[in-house]
Structure 1
Amino acid sequence: MKKLLLFLGVIIAIVIICIVVMIYLKTRPLAKDQAISLIQESLEKKVDKNETIPNGLLRIESSQLEFSHNFTSGLSHGVPIEDDQSFHTASIGKIFTATLVNMLEERNVLNINDPITKYLDDKVIEDIFVYKGIDYKYKVTIKQLLNHTSGVADYFEDPVTSGPNMRELMIEKPDKLWTPLDLVKFTKNNQKAVSSPGQKMHYSDTGYILLGLIVESATGKSFHENLHEMIFDPIGMNDSYLMFYSTPKNPEKKLNELYFEGKKIHTYKSLSADWSGGGVVSTLSDLCKFSRALNKYKLVSKETLDNMYTFNQKYMNGMYYGLGVIEYHFEEYFPMLKYLPNVTGHMGVFGTQMFYDKTSDTVIILSLGSTDGTSKSVRLLIDVLSILARIK
């Protein structure tokens, strides 16, 4: 419900802003310097003076437009934020997990149609796939975890049978270091499955924790070792790492300030409540490298990427899900946005966005570092795409 209300607010805001955008879209072409100025202005408007969104980061790289620029606004730790600042990417991390799984399939280490019981001990998944009295754990596949159709609950957002939910616990217990098994047990002890496998799309961080455990089981290596060896190191993501589990190849930068429901939490150990569901720390430059490598078939083949980009699960109006990847259909928010391309990537609860437009070979990375910035980050992405469409 919270997500639906959030995106309802986004849609209302879009209706207001896109009318103005469309009036000038075709009649007022922009030079690149004008576009840069407008994008900077849009970013600055999203940074909140009440300090729950203290700064913003944005990178745009487009080969077709011959456009490459970093944008910053606001302060980080009391000084102007720099464009190489490291930040928590939140659920953008899911696309890394999905990419790892698909890379392992190409190497014949696993098959995404395998049942998850081939890799996970029965005790790990005990009771979490019970729906209407029937335990479906033997019927759940890796692919169903990837596209959120396994039926498992979401430890991060779903209601609990009793006691505080995970979002409350993150604030109440800032020194709690959550292990992956802790997160799965939270669903086991406090939540119920939402459907039988394959019956409905239900976004689940629990499912992505299970995918991280499958990667470890299939490879005999830790999840973070796989991230570094298979993705970060080969493509030069030298400032990226898995929070609480690894360090970057370059000297580690101070993590950008992070706000969760109004609380500054970038020093909280409870941020460990993500792991393979969204625990990657990165930079604008590194995420741009990843998006380029993925979409240029440097990590997986075209056939595999096409499979990942089969968006047949509707997450909500305007958002469709593939295998660990989101595609925006902006015209579903408002018909006058139909001129905008469908872009592919992922977003995160901390106002993070990483998307790729194949029609213009454009990568857009942004972060507002706050749960208060989730809807604003969608509006900023629309602003950016609208401005880029006017460059002549």
Structure 2
Amino acid sequence: MENQKQKIKKVFEKFTKNKQIHESVLLIENSGGDFSYHLEYGGKKTDTPILTASITKLFTSTCILILREQEKLSLDDKIAKYFEEDTLSSLHIYKGREYSMDLTLSNLLFHTSGLTDAIEEGSNKAKKRAIYKDRQMSFDETITKTKQLKPHFEPDMGKRAHYANVNFDILGKVIEIVTNSTLEDVYKQFIFDPLGLKNTYLPIDEDDFVPNVYYKDTSFYIPKTIRSIRASGGCISTARELMIFIKAFFGGRLFNKTIFHELGVNNKLQAAMSPIHYGAGYMKIPLGGLVTLFMGKGELLGHSGSTGSFAFYYPASDLFFVGDVNQMANPALPVRLVMRLAMSIRS
């Protein structure tokens, strides 16, 4: 164990010398809990609030999978079952044919819808505006902006997957429609209360604390933006509570974990996100490919966030990695860190 800790510390200290990283926290534990090790940098601690960003998709996926177990929805359901035709009309038109009414919940969960991300792909300036200009955007506005962009492919086209936040924004709205409740209340009922998470929440008004996030050397406060992407990236947590959640997600405490075998399909995401694949609401990162010069073993399962957050399980060593590097300028940073950690302690 001490040898593992030394390897972890060496990777972490080398990584946090990166000029883009101003603060960071890392927590590593095994399933049994008899191994726990944390490292801190720049004043960030295991109980410091973290903007989890796209790790939120794991929370949304959890709710979808629980509702599926309760037989309140099916992944084969067309989203047309839950929305008015006016809402969906022209959402997905590819090569002159409309697929809007054919999209399924599965297409959204696996990112196989082909839909485009309005912020990331809308224009070269769209992402920068989202960072520098904090503004609220409603669900209807998100849908309208998505309709203005061309989809990448027809739904379920080959083995293609394209990561787009709008997929989970729609899933969040479906959760609210099915439960006749707010997303924050469903999170609380299905996840936060059962796991005893006291410092994990979806901010809903100006009184709810939202951490600052770095873009290069500047620290930004973007609470309106965060409240606009609740189901795809709006959750706040801590490293300590993310560890509880990620263990529960893959350990069967929230839903039957046989679902990972039942829904075992995963597809490679767009080239910009290589080597990440996407399964039923979670990322899968193989460690044995070209990116590691075939020296890795196994795979990482979980999610990273564009703000530098990460929550992954490494089955080959039975270890969970959670934490944050708090940097939006390079979304690959958290993935690179966890890959290096896994490679350094591979069994």
* TM score, norm. by length of structure 1: 0.80
Change (3 A) 1:303 1:49: closer
5+ residue gaps, structure 1, are 1-31, 75-79
Task: State the 1:39 CA deviation.
Answer: 2.3
Match of 1:91 among 39, 42, 54: 54
Q: 1:324: which partner in 2?
A: 281
Task: State the 1:261 CA deviation.
Answer: 5.2
Task: State the 1:123 CA deviation.
Answer: 2.2
Give the fraction of aligned pairs with identical amino acids, expressed as a percent: 25
Match of 1:219 among 179, 191, 195: 179
Change (3 A) 1:338 1:288: same
Q: Tell me the distance in 1 between the aligned counterparts of 2:21 and 2:298.
A: 28
Match of 1:144 among 102, 107, 126: 107
AA of the residue aligned to 1:124: T
The RMSD of aligned alpha carbons is 2.5
Where 1:108 maps in the other structure, the secondary structure is: coil
Give the count of matched residue pairs: 343
Where 1:259 maps in the other structure, the secondary structure is: strand
Q: 1:356: which partner in 2?
A: 313
AA of the residue aligned to 2:82: Y
Match of 1:236 among 179, 188, 196: 196
Q: Following superposition of structure 1 onto structure 2, how do residues 201-216 of structure 1 map, counting pairs within 5 Å?
A: 201-216=161-176
Where 2:332 maps in the other structure, the secondary structure is: helix
- Does the CA-based 8 Å contact 2:108-2:167 persist in structure 1? yes
Q: 1:169: which partner in 2?
A: 129
AA of the residue aligned to 1:295: F
* TM score, norm. by length of structure 2: 0.90
Q: Following superposition of structure 1 onto structure 2, how do residues 194-343 of structure 1 map, counting pairs within 5 Å?
A: 194-199=152-157, 200-244=160-204, 255-260=210-215, 262-316=217-271, 317-334=274-291, 336-343=293-300
Asked which structure has the greater CA Rg, the reply is: 1
Where 2:59 maps in the other structure, the secondary structure is: helix
Task: State the 1:43 CA deviation.
Answer: 2.2
Q: Following superposition of structure 1 onto structure 2, how do residues 102-141 of structure 1 map, counting pairs within 5 Å?
A: 102-141=65-104
Worse-superposed segment, 213-222 or 327-336:
327-336
5+ residue gaps, structure 2, are none
Task: State the 1:386 CA deviation.
Answer: 2.8
Change (3 A) 1:89 1:324: same
Where 2:25 maps in the other structure, the secondary structure is: strand
Change (3 A) 1:42 1:382: same
AA of the residue aligned to 1:71: L
Q: Tell me the distance in 2 between the aligned counterparts of 1:276 and 1:191.
A: 21
Q: Tell me the distance in 2 between the aligned counterparts of 1:338 and 1:49.
A: 24
Q: 1:53: which partner in 2?
A: 21
Change (3 A) 1:210 1:262: farther
Q: Does 1:185 align with 2:144?
A: yes
Task: State the 1:283 CA deviation.
Answer: 0.9
Q: Tell me the distance in 2 between the aligned counterparts of 1:314 and 1:133.
A: 24
Q: Tell me the distance in 1 between the aligned counterparts of 2:129 and 2:264.
A: 35
